[in-house]
Amino acid sequence: MAETSASLKLTHEGALAALNAGIAKATAMGQPQCISIVDAGGHLLAFVRMDGAFHMSLETSLRKAKTAACYGQPSGGIEEGVDLRLALGTDGQRINLPGGLPIIVDGHCIGGVGVGSGTGAQDREVATEAIAAIPGSQTF
């Protein structure tokens, strides 16, 4: 058994590329958004609250990004009942709203994108565009 393993890391340049792609998509849709990009540990690397986006969506976008990065899967799909226990157990840091996507490259979860201020479908559409800006990222 090896004591170490190779891993990938999301850089701030990658986070900014994802953020800018998300902004471009939200602008094209005419839906101002809050967009958060986090690393694999859920630490914020990039954020924007576009003019006109809901103020409180900065919290939900960050929590969506952290949830996606932590679990390596899109937010919004946690089993009913488990989602409430998870929210309680993490003091609300994990959230089961659509709009969070993990950034997975070569099988490594290197971060997450969380989007909030539109409908769940709009949030996910912007998140999808954001992760597409990272070369080799898995699509959802």
> Domain extents for the chain?
12-132
> Residue 99 phi/psi, 5° resolution?
125, 0
How far is it, in rounded angstroms, from Cα 113 to Cα 36? 6
The architecture CATH gives domain 12-132: 2-Layer Sandwich (3.30)
Burial of 34 (0-12, 13-18, 19+ CB in 10 A): buried
Position 100 confidence tier, pLDDT thresholds 50, 70, 90: very high
Position 93 confidence tier, pLDDT thresholds 50, 70, 90: confident
pLDDT by residue (tens digit) across 102-116? 999 999 999 999 999
Q: Above 80 in pLDDT, residue 1? A: no
Q: Above 80 in pLDDT, residue 39? A: yes
Whole-model pTM: value is: 0.94
pLDDT by residue (tens digit) across 126-137? 999 999 999 999
- Comparing 35 with 86, which gets the higher pLDDT? 35
Q: Tell me what pLDDT residue 3 has.
A: 93
Mean pLDDT for the chain? Answer: 95
Position 52 confidence tier, pLDDT thresholds 50, 70, 90: very high
Position 91 confidence tier, pLDDT thresholds 50, 70, 90: confident
Q: Tell me what pLDDT residue 23 has.
A: 98
